Amino acid sequence: MDKFKDSSLPVAERVADLLPRLSLEDKAGLMFHEIAPMLPGGNLLPPGLPWGVATETLIREKRITHFNVHGVPEKGSEMAAWHNKLQTIAAEVGLGVPVTISTDPRHSFSENQGALFSAGAFSQWPESMGLSALCIDDPHGLELVEKFGDIARQEYRAVGIHAALHPQIDLATEPRWCRAGMTFGEDAKVSGAVGAAYIRGFQGKNFGKNSVSTMTKHFPGGGPQLNGEDPHFAYGKEQVYPGNNFDYHVEPFKDAIAAGTRQMMPYYGQPIGTKYEEVGFGFNKGVLTDLLKGQLGFEGVICTDWGLITDANILGQDMPARAWGVEHLTREDRIRKALNAGVDQFGGESCPELIVDLVRAGKVDEARIDLSAAKLLAEKFILGLFDEGRFVDEAAADKIVGNAEFRAVGEAAQRAGIVKLKLAESGPASLPLAAGLKVYVEGITLENAALIGEVVASPAEADLAIIRKAAHYDPRPGGFEALFHAGSLEYPADEVARIVEICHTVPTIFDIYLDRAAIFPEIAEAAAAVTANFGANPLAFIYVLKNPALAKGRLPIELPSSTAAVLASKSDVPYDTVAPLFAYGAGL
């Protein structure tokens, strides 16, 4: 008899056959979803390094079979080779349960370990808010989002990625929150519709061996963070609801469940002032069992966000476990509380021995472990990992990943996602740009600027200035913490004065990359034209300058007019700052 039973049989029968033949150690290993770095050339993390356990050790000794890949490949074939090495090792361990590989978003412009990765070999698209910008009052935008998911699905499966640690459908109702750019904005209805299209693209019409399983996050909605700080860090652990708007943040998750999302990730934050226990959502039975499973009917896998149980060092920075509200508990008791809350899997952790010890000490029933293990095995069976989908074609990966067709669609989406906020009616800054202009540029290479006109060294020499700039943030210390763009939304006064002076010297087009909201009223007033992007390469931007009809985006967040307006707004309420500089949905 095949050790994994006939692939033509129902998945439930195959799971029922395999589960009792697994050891307790095997089942506990299924419940951990650890990071696995991919080294250059598609090599595995070896033993003996001070900053991580060897990936092979995690498979052979810890029996872990779910990995979140870190590292951006130079070639699809390298990543495929890395995946096949893992599967070869896993096939030699115990009954040979295959490995499931997941990833954070990989089609982006930004790079933030633990949140998203730049595209590398993959096709490059606008980031999440850029996709959403195409869907405000435009159903055709949803078709593009689904197309993105389908392309990403093909690229993922070509290199052996089976699960997406996204979409992120939190609502960006707190303008200062550093993870707003990874959301679909602050409107619940739009975010739910975009999230559902995204899921359909990744998972396909029928979830199966060619699908990518989506882990939607972060239930019941991150975003309304106290002072806009993020709960990766202790100072941001509190989620607050001054507008009594908890239910609004749950709305997009209803759409994700209806679309068939297979997995769900709760956030780190602890709710303050609600009917729920004031502990992190990964430990919160009222939120996960009563609300998510009971009221919303979700039956899939629940995986915690990364690092709820064990203290760690990330990029040289000591990080306490994000066990907010239960910091006083031992690691064993944190696991017990999370299991009791309804968690099936622990992200960013590699301590299955704690579950084994809890079961053998009679503190956790093995039947509870079987419940989660069965869900996780079923996912592997449906994805085809026990069958022909276990290994991928390394040569074919290079033909699929980042191919010309996929790149062209992604670049068209970059152009379309640009938002025209203010346009010049006449003069050198009016669009489309005239030929033969003398141009002063910032944020564009001289080579690319030469496609616009004759590049000059100063605004005084120019007919037109073009400034591309990212939204402001206050740099934070530490290796990991420094990756999060938080703090003030306003540029320093001297930088504002410098840009305004340029605008007064020569007609200026100001383009701002928004990975969260920004406050720049003086610049917006002084500039002849203002555009916003959510990830658009220089050529995409230049194409829009020459053919402005290509840009169709609308703002998925409002841009406040002042810090005072942000401080007076409610963190859980959408588009509620007084007299915004640009309102939600703005776009010419």
Q: pLDDT per residue over 174-210, tens digit each?
A: 999 999 999 999 999 999 999 999 999 999 999 999 9
Q: What proportion of the chain, given as a percentage, has pLDDT over 70? A: 97
Q: How far apart are CA 93 and CA 90, in angstroms?
A: 5
Residue with tokens 């990403």: 152
Look up residue 196 and give its two tokens.
Answer: 């559902």
Q: How far apart are CA 264 and CA 184, in angstroms?
A: 17
> 3-state DSSP helix/strand/coil percent for the chain, to nearest 5?
40, 15, 45
> Measured in Å, how far apart are the chain's first and last C-alpha atoms?
65
Q: How many alpha carbons lie under 13 Å from residue 174 in its C-beta half-sphere?
A: 29
The domain made up of 418-568 is a member of CATH 2.40.110.10: no
What's the pTM? 0.96
Cβ–Cβ under 8 Å, residues 467 and 514:
no
Look up residue 453 and give its two tokens.
Answer: 């006109």
Q: How far apart are CA 124 and CA 130, in angstroms?
A: 12
Cβ–Cβ under 8 Å, residues 471 and 517:
yes
Q: Where do the H-state alpha helices sit in 242-389?
A: 246-258, 285, 331-341, 352-360, 366-382
Count the neighbouring beta carbons within 10 Å of the beta carbon of residue 82: 25
Cβ–Cβ under 8 Å, residues 581 and 191:
no
Catalytic residue among 170, 187, 255, 305: 305
| Coil/strand/helix, residue 413 | helix
pLDDT tens for the chain, residues 1 to 588 = 468 888 889 999 999 999 999 999 999 999 999 999 998 888 888 887 766 789 999 999 999 999 999 886 679 999 999 999 999 999 999 999 999 999 999 888 765 555 556 778 899 999 999 999 999 988 899 999 999 999 999 999 999 999 999 999 999 999 999 999 999 999 999 999 999 999 999 999 999 999 999 999 999 999 999 999 999 999 999 999 999 999 999 999 999 999 999 999 999 999 999 999 999 999 999 999 999 999 999 999 999 999 999 999 888 888 999 999 999 999 999 999 999 999 999 999 999 999 999 999 999 999 999 999 999 999 999 999 999 889 999 999 999 999 999 999 999 999 999 999 999 999 999 999 999 999 999 999 999 999 999 999 999 999 999 999 999 999 998 788 988 999 999 999 999 999 999 999 999 999 999 999 999 999 999 999 999 999 999 999 999 999 999 999 999 999 999 999 999 999 999 999 999 999 999 999
DSSP secondary structure letter of residue 508 = E
Q: Where are the domains of the chain?
A: 1-97+365-391, 418-568
Concerning whether 305 is annotated as a catalytic residue, the answer is yes
